[in-house]
Structure 1
Amino acid sequence: MRSKKIALLVVMTLCIKIMIAQEGLPIYSDYLTDNYYLIHPSMAGASNCSEVRLTGRKNWVGEEDSPGLFTVGYNARITESSSIGTTVYQDKNGFHSQTGAYLTYAHHLMFSRSEVDLNRLSFGLSAGTIQYRLDQSRFVPNGDPIISSNSINTSAFNIDFGFSYHVYNFYIHLTGKNLLKNSGINNDIQITSDLRHYLMSVGYVIDKQNSEWSFEPSLLFSHRKGIDQSSIDFNLKAYKDMSFGKLWGGLSYRRSLDAVKIIQGAESRSQNLNYITPFLGVNYNKFIVAYTYSYQSNPIVFNNGGFHQITLGIDFSCRAKRYACYCPAVN
């Protein structure tokens, strides 16, 4: 009886991990570290500079097989209105891991009468492959004839599409990710055959003339179609102009809009996912360094440890600032 309970627990844990890990690139708070292209393909080449961004994230430091994510992204203008980009990432979550590579093309349409005014609509399309890997060698310590000890690998093709609109200090981004059917390695689990993920970002930069400080409140709404779950990020970011570049930081609060039922002893409870994420970064000449820490504030958690992330970046081939607005993602 005990072995059946253990087997059931293993299967349930495996199914949950696969359902989460198969969504493609996980959406954390790394977009706030001057990295909107990571989640919105229409932001490829949106800046006056060519950009390279690297991020490394580790969850529950000290726990074996804890989730970890590494990303590398590049985007740049190739003509006045066209841009390209590429993103490579590796995401590991327990026995499951995935490696993805995407190429992006973005097109930018200007509606301004003058280049000084920012009034621009951008479209972006990303296409790429994701390789899934499931390591079954450690499912049961002494082996199980029913479960193969080999690793399972498979690859799938998918696309992301979105658009961005900037007018002066205001912006909005809408993106659909994983728009093609892609069930990964567990085709018999119906819920993972629909990995569509819809994102909407909206924000405004508040600045005063002759002031070193500016503030950027923003929102990110996220909806996963296949599992019908939504969440929202409330963000506040502050910038301070320095002689060497720019110092910035802020706070993000993520809350899921759908409660999850949890059985604790004989009591059934429900809770919403809550993340509190402070972050701090600096633009030193053409280099960017940022640190992000996320804390899960739910009463019931897997581990009290936090989520650590480092972002490194460099801007190059920069053009002069063109727009008379305080819009850090563009100027």
Structure 2
Amino acid sequence: MKRIFKSLVLLLCLGMMSGARAQQNVQFTQYVFNSMSVNPAYAGYKEELFAQLGLRSQWVDLEGAPQTGLLSIDGLLDLYGARRHGGGVQIMADQLGPQTATSAYLNYAYRLRLDREDTQRLSFGVGAGLTQYSLDGTMITVLDDGDNVLPTGKISNFVPDIRFGIYYHNARWYAGASIMDLLSGTSADNLFRWDQTTVDRIRRKRHLYLIGGMLVDVNESLKLRPSLLYKDDFLGPSSLDINVMAIFSDRLWLGGGIRTGVSAFRRDYRRFTGDRLSGMNAVSFVMQIFATDRLRIGYSYDYMLSRLNGLQNGSHEMTLGVTLGRPLDRIKCYF
């Protein structure tokens, strides 16, 4: 069973010689607490220097399941000026079985002030970075020896990349769109190519992200914050996250959400999967607590609804956010 599982993981990762022509990017359930992970135009939104550490363990107890770490810091580049320029750094490490991807990005956002009271902003963002993709052949157990496609040792490549985004917000709602991993292309149309002894097949694919949400006042101490995230890799199934958070006295955030597939477009992948793919993917519990004015702690748990349900014990995600320097009293950041 162990040999069969590792072979299946390898096929999923590499998509070699099969109809699995695309793969979804790394996902974070707690993107709602720091959207720079899905949109570079978000950099500087909080108008204070903010650092966040995120750790995600997906599909617990399933051997070779994804493990992801994310470290980011962002803020205004002109804090005491017109607050038009936001910047941020994002470092991410992701491992799935024998494959790893380690990336570093610099993000910049130009923030347009849309009214005299400065209650709404429109931001345009760009990110540039480098990702090292690696594949460790010593971790692969094969059923048949002598496959020349598989490496015998560890191989790696560096891939440059850029990303673009647009982000609008006011006091009550926000919306954004971004294109991530733009230079990676799709598995059918890569801008960078290598021979079969390299890691071309495990690179992240070009993705479109759409985000949106709003804030609803219930009473003085309770607010509701519904949000959504739509993710599309242009070839495979689209994904939609729908979340609702309740905010108690601006200190405790409690909520949950669902992650499901969306059949918005007709795609070739159905030739290979038919109707075997389940629409509902997972339900999530999400919380965040402001331990102090500077420190916030988040936790989420994903319960799988797909056919993986009986093979693993869900996904855990922890985040730690810290405001560096003096917290600003001028704004309340709910998005």
TM-score range, shorter chain: 0.7 to 0.9
| TM-score normalized with structure 1 length | 0.82
Give the equivalent residue in structure 1 for 2:284.
277
Cα 1:142/1:122, change in 2 over 3 Å: closer
Question: Residue 44 of structure 2: SS of its match in structure 1?
Answer: coil
Q: Distance between the aligned counterparts of 1:95 and 1:124, measured in 2?
A: 33
Give the equivalent residue in structure 1 for 2:169.
166
Q: Distance between the aligned counterparts of 1:113 and 1:174, measured in 2?
A: 25
Alignment of 1:74-223 (within 5 A): 74-79=73-78, 80-115=83-118, 118-140=119-141, 144-145=145-146, 146=148, 147-181=150-184, 183=190, 195-208=205-218, 211-223=220-232
| TM-score normalized with structure 2 length | 0.82
Give the equivalent residue in structure 1 for 2:13.
17
Question: Residue 11 of structure 2: SS of its match in structure 1?
Answer: helix
2:301 counterpart of 1:293? yes
Q: Distance between the aligned counterparts of 1:172 and 1:24, measured in 2?
A: 22
Q: Distance between the aligned counterparts of 2:284 and 2:75, measured in 1?
A: 29
Contact 2:257 2:284 in 1 (8 A): yes
Q: Distance between the aligned counterparts of 1:179 and 1:15, measured in 2?
A: 24
Q: Distance between the aligned counterparts of 1:251 and 1:207, measured in 2?
A: 18
Q: Distance between the aligned counterparts of 1:99 and 1:275, measured in 2?
A: 26
Alpha-carbon distance, 1:138 to partner = 3.2
Q: Which has the higher strand share?
A: 1
Contact 2:167 2:174 in 1 (8 A): yes
Q: Distance between the aligned counterparts of 1:129 and 1:149, measured in 2?
A: 25
Give the equivalent residue in structure 1 for 2:321.
313
**Cα RMSD, aligned residues only:** 3.3
Give the equivalent residue in structure 1 for 2:55.
56
Alpha-carbon distance, 1:191 to partner = 8.1
Q: Which amino acid aligns with 1:122?
A: S
Q: Which amino acid aligns with 2:287?
A: L
Cα 1:99/1:194, change in 2 over 3 Å: closer
Q: Which amino acid aligns with 1:201?
A: I
Contact 2:172 2:215 in 1 (8 A): yes
Please list every run of 5 or more consecutive structure 2 residues that lacks an aligned counterpart in the other structure. none
Give the equivalent residue in structure 2 for 1:30.
30
Contact 1:24 1:130 in 2 (8 A): no
**Sequence identity (%):** 24
Cα 1:134/1:84, change in 2 over 3 Å: same
Alpha-carbon distance, 1:181 to partner = 3.6
Cα 1:85/1:94, change in 2 over 3 Å: same
Please list every run of 5 or more consecutive structure 1 residues that lacks an aligned counterpart in the other structure. 1-5
Question: Residue 121 of structure 2: SS of its match in structure 1?
Answer: strand
2:43 counterpart of 1:44? yes
Q: Distance between the aligned counterparts of 1:194 and 1:297, measured in 2?
A: 25
Q: Distance between the aligned counterparts of 2:84 and 2:290, measured in 1?
A: 26
Length, aligned pairs only:
310
